[in-house]
Amino acid sequence: MYNWVKQYLGVTIGVVLLAMALNLFLVPNKIAAGGVSGLATIIYHLFNIPVGMAVLGLNVPLYIMGFLRLGWGFILHSLYGTIAVALAIDLTAPFLHAPTDNLLLATIYGGVLAGLGLGLVFRNKSTTGGTDMAAAILRSYIGLDIGQMLFMVDAMVVVSAGIVFNSWELAMYALICTFTIAKVIDMVQDGFSYAKGFIIITNDPRAVGDKLTKELHRGATIWNARGMYTGSNRHVLLSVVHRSEVSKLKDIIHEADPRAFVITTDVHEVIGEGFKQMTAYKK
């Protein structure tokens, strides 16, 4: 029960953030950043139909096609997100007024806010319908990758906005906003970079591993490898540490094996001992 409430609370917060992005930044400045919300923005400026109502109306044929093509199982998990985002947009619209008419500011802040909202929705195992569903339906006919289909659908919306608003400048801002949204969604789902991964190729894994365990209280995974050029046997250690421990780990490696070959990489999410615990939402 707790997980169910947490999941739907996350989706609700996400759709409210998306509604704020649309009402504060995107719709007033005619930035149609792809998707059903982008089409709804165009419809609003053409026919003065509320954005939320347009979002809901545009999703109806998609749900019908999704049911006929993909079955109930695919569309049920999107139903709450779709209805909630439509209601959130129209209910908050009278109280939210654009703080800026600067297109660049509206593009950046609208994209970040929308990305945060959609990221929370996706992280909580839901969607807002729209282009996700359209892409899945098209994929069932054409067979292309979902990512390719989403890009094609969003691109068509952006181009349509440029034609309808008679401004390719607005279309270019919408494209920037689309990329911003996608990037922020990835950051929300993958997590912000708060740790560093180390791949250490060394001739003395015991010395490196012992110092790592005793001085940093971190574990490591070891496997055997062979140098392609020299043909010599080597050992590879994999370890993950917090950012604050990076300098100390470099000192440990240098002291234990100054000739070690080290690769560092950003780690966005670490699940397990010493970091965060695995959680799952129950259906």
Residues 106 and 207 in one domain: no
Same-domain check for residues 183 and 231: no
Per the structure, the count of domains in the chain is 2
CA gap 38, 40 in Å, rounded: 5
* Distance of alpha carbon 31 from the chain centroid: 20
Query: Residue 281: pLDDT above 50?
Result: no
Beta-bridge partners for 123 = none
The Cα 130–Cα 136 span in angstroms is 10
- Range list of β-strands (E), the chain: 195-202, 221-226, 233-242, 261-267
In a domain, 283, yes or no: no
Residues 185, 142, single domain; the answer is yes
Q: Is residue 273 part of a domain?
A: no
**What local confidence, expressed as pLDDT, does residue 283 receive?**
43
Q: Domain range for residue 204?
A: 195-267
Higher confidence at residue 2 or residue 57?
A: 57
| Domain match, 181 and 217 both | no
115 and 240 co-located in one domain = no
Pair 86, 216 in one domain: no
pLDDT in tens, 177-231: 988 988 888 778 766 656 888 999 988 888 888 888 888 888 888 888 887 777 7
Q: What pLDDT does residue 99 have?
A: 92
pLDDT of residue 66: 74
Q: Which pairs count as long-range contacts for 229-233, CB under 8 Å and 24+ apart, including other chains?
A: none
Does residue 133 contact residue 146 with C-beta atoms inside 8 Å?
Answer: no
CA distance 42 to 116: 23
Residue 17 inside a domain? The answer is yes
Query: How does pLDDT run across 253-280, given as a tens digit for each residue?
Result: 888 888 888 998 888 777 766 666 655 5
Residue 195: how many CB atoms within 10 A of its CB? 21
Residue 143 pLDDT greater than 70, yes or no: no
Residue 15 has pLDDT above 50, yes or no: yes
Please tell me whether residues 254 and 136 are part of one structural domain. no
